[in-house]
Structure 1
Amino acid sequence: MGPLMDVAALEARRSGGQRTVLLDVRWVLGDPHGREHYLEGHLPGAVFVDLATDLAAPAAAERGRHPLPPPSEFQAAARRWGINDGDVVVAYDNSGNLAAARLWWMLRNAGFQDVYLLDGGLAAWSAAGLPVEDGPVDVSASNVSLEEGRMPAIDADTATGWAGSGILLDARAAERYRGEIEPVDPRAGHIPGALSSPTSENLDEHGHFLPAHELRRRFEGLGISRGVPVAVYCGSGVTAAHEVAALEIAGFGAALYPGSFSEWSNNPALPVVTGSEPDGGERPNLTGA
């Protein structure tokens, strides 16, 4: 089934009385009102997840704007959301799953396998004429047991030399990659050797993930093939998780750099380059052999 569940499959579970934990991860960079949006309307029974406090530790220059929280804190949050061992979890937002993918990746990293993204999110649910409800949802505390380190991840030291033997993707908007703008981090540009691969290009005009064959063609155009190591970063490790999900749909595995550019650019010892080329030189010939 992969990372995605479509609206029809979710509604079949709901109407069939199959237990499904719904998590609403309403968050967009620059909009701090996710909970208010949730309270105005969400999927029936969905619990709000605050990305800034539930899915991240406090910002720190040496770890980035959204560091991963300690595993014990994440497990405590998952229990507050009502997740039990063996449940099926479906996460969504209203921005193409750019935020919800962070929760998907974190649960997968914690060893929880039955977690999915609602393809198209709240917009797809509403477009199908299905009901929403307002106000908060209370759930009973649960007993899920989570682990850590089950998804591949890299740190700044590993990212430094990654492009020499693999492909490092920058999932931010192309203008941030080029260094033309930088709204939140201390330096503009990108990690040397990284290729621009904006997360927005994983989606169609309705906020659905592109079909697997189209995603595969997109990533193959960046030189990705079986056997070539791939890692992804973004601004703070949020939307890069979306790219990891898109790569999985396309049939490729990828590591996440959780600290991402917000961590990298805060370290003056680490180089940053600007412009449309990875590092001003030629890309390495990566055949996967």
Structure 2
Amino acid sequence: MSPTIDSASGGTPFISADTAVEQHGSVRLDVRWTLGGPSREADYAAGHLPGAVRLDFDRDVCGPVGPVGGRHPLPEPEALQAVLRAAGIDDDSRVLVYDDGDGMAAARTWWTLRWAGVDRAQVLQGGIKAWTGAGFPLETQTPQPKPGTVTVRPGQLPVLDAEAAADWARTRELIDVRAPERYRGEMEPVDPVAGHVPGAINLFLGEDDLADAPRLHERYAPHPEAAYYCGSGVGAARTALAVTAAGLPTPPVYIGSWSDWVSRGRDVATGEER
């Protein structure tokens, strides 16, 4: 596991549409995605930020799904490097990532870029809706970027595996950000087993306003040694983005999350933790 990375090392994780439109030379990544839904190729073709390269979230940002590892595992470094170079990313590139605006796919992409050593990555606050809402244009042309030269350096953000997550729950604070009924094991719409990691507590991700840094600080500052998990590492990455936006150190993430935990046949807890 890598040491915790202070948020200051990567600067603010957000960029507004007003600032982004004036920022020239950045690489723009369109990662719009719907959990369990169809590919978003048609949406990209219908209109995207000028110059934006489309990444398929499941194929390009995450690794292939296996019998263990969860539904959105980390990509192999070599595969990710090829994707990022094809998008035109160099080691010193500014990278702007956007989705529909909920911040889920964009946050996981931002987290993956930071994990890979791409420090100058930011998420477009409010996503493509904020861009069009500000009156800025879209385009339909598919860009042909000059291949980049970025070198992926995995491990630049702290990552937990199942054993480390179990230890974190015993010795520090492991936070499950899924809906309370999923945490308690009352229902599970995606994974084959309901419940939570024994010893984990619940702090529902909900609809955090990622632009409200003081509120985020109030919410997450009481958990200075917490690590986070969700269903498959997407919501937990969004929480890591929220914590970083609050001016706090980027926390450890159990990137395989619940889907990895149950794939390994680990012990399951239900109800509330005492």
Paired residue for 2:40?
34
Paired residue for 1:206?
none
Paired residue for 1:83?
89
Structure 1 residue 161 displacement after superposition: 2.1
Paired residue for 2:252?
255
**Secondary structure at 1:90's aligned position in 2?**
strand
Counterpart of 1:160 in structure 2: which amino acid? A
Q: Does residue 2 in structure 1 map to residue 12 in structure 2?
A: yes
Indicate how the Cα distance of structure 1 residues 71 and 33 shifts in structure 2: closer, same or farther if over 3 A, else same: same
Counterpart of 2:231 in structure 1: which amino acid? G
- Matching residue within 27, 49, 56 for 1:50: 56
1: CA distance between counterparts of 2:181 and 2:53? 35
Q: Structure 2: which 5+ residue stretches go unaligned?
A: 1-10
2: CA distance between counterparts of 1:211 and 1:163? 28
1: CA distance between counterparts of 2:188 and 2:196? 11
Deviates more, 1:53-62 or 1:123-132: 53-62
**Secondary structure at 2:97's aligned position in 1?**
strand
Q: Which has the higher contact order (CA 8 A, sep 6+)?
A: 2
2: CA distance between counterparts of 1:137 and 1:174? 43
**Secondary structure at 1:200's aligned position in 2?**
coil
2: CA distance between counterparts of 1:189 and 1:70? 29
Q: State the percentage of identical aligned residues.
A: 42
Paired residue for 2:269?
273
Counterpart of 1:146 in structure 2: which amino acid? V
Structure 1 residue 246 displacement after superposition: 0.6
Q: Does residue 111 in structure 1 map to residue 112 in structure 2?
A: no
Conserved? CA contact 1:28–1:95, under 8 Å: no
Paired residue for 1:234?
230
- Matching residue within 165, 169, 182 for 2:171: 165
2: CA distance between counterparts of 1:135 and 1:184? 36
Paired residue for 1:211?
212
Structure 1 residue 37 displacement after superposition: 1.9
**In angstroms, what is the RMSD of aligned CA positions?**
1.6
2: CA distance between counterparts of 1:43 and 1:150? 28
Counterpart of 2:102 in structure 1: which amino acid? G
How many residue pairs get aligned? The number is: 263
Q: Does residue 184 in structure 1 map to residue 190 in structure 2?
A: yes
1: CA distance between counterparts of 2:187 and 2:131? 34
1:4-23 residue pairs with structure 2 within 5 A?
Answer: 4-13=14-23, 18-23=24-29
Conserved? CA contact 1:92–1:121, under 8 Å: yes
Conserved? CA contact 2:101–2:125, under 8 Å: no
2: CA distance between counterparts of 1:191 and 1:87? 38
**Secondary structure at 2:227's aligned position in 1?**
strand
TM-score of the pair, normalised by structure 2: 0.91
1: CA distance between counterparts of 2:16 and 2:84? 23
Q: Does residue 224 in structure 1 map to residue 230 in structure 2?
A: no
1:87-102 residue pairs with structure 2 within 5 A?
Answer: 87-102=93-108
Structure 1 residue 105 displacement after superposition: 0.9
- Matching residue within 220, 234, 245 for 2:241: 245
**Secondary structure at 2:117's aligned position in 1?**
coil
Paired residue for 2:74?
68
Structure 1 residue 195 displacement after superposition: 2.2
